[in-house]
Amino acid sequence: MARLVVLGGGVAGHTTATFAAKWLGSAHEVVVVTPNSKWNWIPSNIWVGVGQMTKEEVTFDLAPVYKKAGITYHQAKAVSINPEGKDESDKPFVTIEYTDDKTGQIETIEYDYLVNATGPKLNFDATPGLGDGNGQMGDHTVSVCTADHAVHASHELHKCIEAMKAGTRQKFLIGTGHGMCTCQGAAFEYIFNIEHELNKAGVRDMADMKWISNESFLGDFGMGGLHMKVGGYVVSSKLFAESLYAERDIQWLIGAHVNKIEKGKLDYELLDGSTGEEEFDFAMLIPPFAGVGLKAYDKAGEDITSKVFAPNGFMKVDANYNAGAYENWKASDWPRTYQNPDYKNMFAAGIAFAPPHIISKPMSSPNGTPINPTPPRTGMPSGIIGKAVAHSVCDMITKGKNTKLHEASMAEMGAACVASAGKGVFSGTAAAMTVYPVVPDFDKYPGTGRDTEYTFGEIGLAGHWIKHILHFMFIHKAKLNPGWTLIPE
Amino acid sequence: MKKEDEINFQKNEQFTLTMMPGNFAKKLRTCIIWQAIRFAIINIKMLIVVSKSH
């Protein structure tokens, strides 16, 4: 009997574990280690953050689902990996620390195969004032990164709405809280959902709204933007993003690295080297992501963290980490199998794998401050990668270690994304987009880097319906309810 | 384009150089019949991209 240990129970980890358990059956063991007791459909946190959904609607308990799937579940966080074993034993193992009623208790779990799908550490402390100094979110801003954060954000938003109803003007500042953030899409959704809610509450004219982000142009989204065919033209997402912001009367500040946050104000540096200050009554700023801080040790107990993980804390996989300057970047730099190059029984999926480089053009201010979005690896790509990794591990277990691995390069897969711009069965809108491929391939598509036949976007009520249906579909799938395998990632 | 659709062009310097949807384009966004058609078309397009990605 082989044992697969999956670290993390988010989109990538949950997909890997559930498919592996289904394909391997009871002949082998699948173990999930995740510090959370609940699964969270993160895209719907946006609606929790404006009070249009409850935390209970976007989360469910993991334990009964894993019990149904025959998966061994530990509510714990992974602390370290010993891929060579230790002392007399060659058996690799992970060290975990429980976060449930056994909080603080340390345990080791041996494995035959390991999938690192821990997701990111929300690195609030990268910006003074964005964090509390202890790794948690600070007091000056809100977040929608977790369901609990979104509940708090909704509470603060409604305080602002009450203040506006009482006649006090409010300034809203939404975007990214550091020059190296990703997930601009979540902030994009949140600012338009707030605008929609303020309209519904009849207080829009009492609100000043501003977008602040590390993108060098609106509509970059960490993917270097996208081009789509509209009205016979091939046009940049920049034009459509600017149009939407102008239509909704939302100003923007781009190419911005937020370097300090205090109560009601923040300091920033722009790509041109200038600095400034913005005041706010309500700010939702996405933190930068980092690896969760896993350590790695060899058989002798020597620290090999830098061998297994990139400096940002994400696990090294089969990517080309020596691509050099931007001019030399290729689509083929991106990983295909997500197998660790040194330890063939270790994989990383979803946000946990170290990308070879960013997707957007790298930029920095004259002061040397890097200000560019880091690559998105969430949602559909995470799910597809998780499933491919599950396939590979299952084949290695059942067919032998040298079997051909399954591939899921982000430079060869597309992504469908639906960004809400306001919730309502008949009044809601969302931008429905697809990109193909996620990572542009300028050798294959010399003009835009992508196939414009399969890269498109439009805003409307249909997009909102799709996002709402996806909410129910993916929770249904994650709960392993009947027909779950038929729903694509 | 109705004048009220043009107001935002002058609200901010950033807004003057972009495009702004007119009343018809905005109405289409929430027109049930049109959006039902778009719903079907977008779903087909997304399914094609999903199928090419697996």
Is A247's Cβ below 8 Å from some Cβ in B?
yes
What three-state secondary structure class fits B8? helix
Cβ contacts of A459 on chain B, cutoff 8 Å: 29
Contacts of A316-324 spanning 24+ positions with Cβ under 8 A: A316/A340, A316/A341, A316/A342, A316/A348, A316/A354, A317/A341, A317/A347, A317/A348, A317/A353, A317/A354, A319/A353, A319/A354, A319/A355, A319/A356, A320/A356, A321/A354, A321/A356, A323/A356, A323/A357
Distance of CA A104 to CAs A77, A107, A197, Å? 10, 10, 42
Domain interval for residue B43: 21-54
Distance of CA A392 to CAs A7, A320, A350, A399, Å? 17, 20, 15, 10
Nearest neighbour of B8 by CB, restricted to A249, A412, A415? A249
Distance CA A118, CA A268 (A): 31
Quick one: A399 exposed, middle or buried, by C-beta within 10 A (0-12, 13-18, 19+)? exposed
Would you state the pLDDT for residue A231?
Answer: 83
Residue B8 to chain A, least CA–CA distance (Å): 6
Give CA A186 to chain center in angstroms: 9
Domain boundaries, chain A: 3-122+289-399
**Domain A3-122+289-399 falls in which CATH fold?**
FAD/NAD(P)-binding domain (3.50.50)
- Contact between B32 and A426 using a beta-carbon 8 Å cutoff: yes
- Contact between B30 and A460 using a beta-carbon 8 Å cutoff: yes
Would you state the pLDDT for residue A202?
Answer: 98
Distance CA A3, CA A113 (A): 6
Is A415's Cβ below 8 Å from some Cβ in B?
yes
Would you state the pLDDT for residue B2?
Answer: 60
- Contact between B32 and A461 using a beta-carbon 8 Å cutoff: yes
For A252, the closest chain B residue by CA position comes to B14
- Structurally, chain B folds into a number of domains equal to 1
- Contact between A462 and B36 using a beta-carbon 8 Å cutoff: yes
Is A460's Cβ below 8 Å from some Cβ in B?
yes
Q: Which residues pair with A284 in a beta bridge?
A: A142, A174
Nearest neighbour of A463 by CB, restricted to B42, B50, B53? B42
Nearest neighbour of B49 by CB, restricted to A252, A416, A426? A416
Q: What is the pLDDT of residues A207-248, one digit of tens each?
A: 999 999 999 999 999 999 999 988 889 999 999 999 999 999
Would you state the pLDDT for residue B4?
Answer: 74
Is B49's Cβ below 8 Å from some Cβ in A?
yes
Q: What is the pLDDT of residues B28-52, one digit of tens each?
A: 999 999 999 999 999 999 999 999 8
- Contact between B50 and A380 using a beta-carbon 8 Å cutoff: yes
Give CA A325 to chain center in angstroms: 25
Nearest neighbour of A434 by CB, restricted to B11, B32, B45? B45
Would you state the pLDDT for residue B6?
Answer: 83
Residue linked to tokens 């994304």: A417
Joined tokens for residue A423: 């919730």
Mutate to test the interface with A, among B7, B29, B33, B37 (most CBs of A within 10 A): B29
Distance CA A314, CA A272 (A): 30
Q: How much is the ipTM here?
A: 0.95
For A436, the closest chain B residue by CA position comes to B49
Whole-model pTM: value is 0.96
Closest to A294 measured CA to CA, from A376, A353, A339, A338: A353
Is A441's Cβ below 8 Å from some Cβ in B?
no
What percentage of residues in chain A have a pLDDT greater than 90?
Answer: 97
Q: What is the pLDDT of residues A138-197, one digit of tens each?
A: 999 999 999 999 999 999 999 999 999 999 999 999 999 999 999 899 999 999 999 999
Distance CA A366, CA B18 (A): 28
Distance CA A471, CA A469 (A): 5
Beta-carbon contacts of A34 under 8 Å, excluding residues fewer than 6 positions away, are: A7, A8, A9, A10, A13, A62, A73, A74, A75, A76, A77
Cβ contacts of A252 on chain B, cutoff 8 Å: 14
Average pLDDT value for chain A: 96
Does residue B53 register a pLDDT over 90? Answer: no
Q: What is the DSSP string of A373-429?
A: PPPP--SHHHHHHHHHHHHHHHHHHHH-TTSPPP---TTT--EEEEEES---TTT--
For B11, the closest chain A residue by CA position comes to A249
The CA-CA-CA angle for residues A473, A474, A475, to 5°, reads 95
Q: What is the DSSP string of A244-300?
A: HHHHTT-EEE-SEEEEEEETTEEEEEETTS-EEEEE-SEEEEEPPEE----EEB-TT
- Contact between B46 and A426 using a beta-carbon 8 Å cutoff: no
> Mean pLDDT across the stretch A404-419?
96
Q: What is the pLDDT of residues A465-480, one digit of tens each?
A: 999 999 999 999 999 9
Query: Is the backbone of residue A219 left (phi > 0), alpha (psi -120 to 50) or beta?
Result: left
**Alpha helices for A166-236 (secondary structure H):** 184-200
Would you state the pLDDT for residue B1?
Answer: 53
Joined tokens for residue A135: 């790794």
Within a domain: B10 = no
- Contact between B49 and A463 using a beta-carbon 8 Å cutoff: no
Does residue A1 register a pLDDT over 60? Answer: yes
For B5, the closest chain A residue by CA position comes to A247
Closest to A456 measured CA to CA, from A245, A240, A247: A240
Cβ contacts of A251 on chain B, cutoff 8 Å: 12, 14
List the 3-42 stretch of B: residues with Cβ below 8 A of A.
8-9, 11-12, 14-15, 17-21, 28-32, 34-36, 38-39, 42
Residue A109 to chain B, least CA–CA distance (Å): 32
Nearest neighbour of B30 by CB, restricted to A427, A454, A489? A427
Residues A357/A165, Cβ–Cβ less than 8 Å: no
φ/ψ of A156, rounded to 5, equals -70, -35
Distance CA B46, CA B54 (A): 13
Q: What is the pLDDT of residues A309-318, one digit of tens each?
A: 999 999 999 9
- Contact between A246 and B15 using a beta-carbon 8 Å cutoff: yes
The CA-CA-CA angle for residues A410, A413, A416, to 5°, reads 105
Nearest neighbour of B49 by CB, restricted to A243, A454, A463? A454
Give the containing element (helix H, strand E) for B6.
Answer: helix B3-6
- Contact between B19 and A243 using a beta-carbon 8 Å cutoff: yes
Residues A463/A432, Cβ–Cβ less than 8 Å: yes
Q: What is the pLDDT of residues A349-405, one digit of tens each?
A: 999 999 999 999 999 999 999 999 999 888 899 999 999 999 999 999 999 999 999
Residue linked to tokens 């979104």: A150
What three-state secondary structure class fits A184? helix
- Contact between B54 and A488 using a beta-carbon 8 Å cutoff: yes
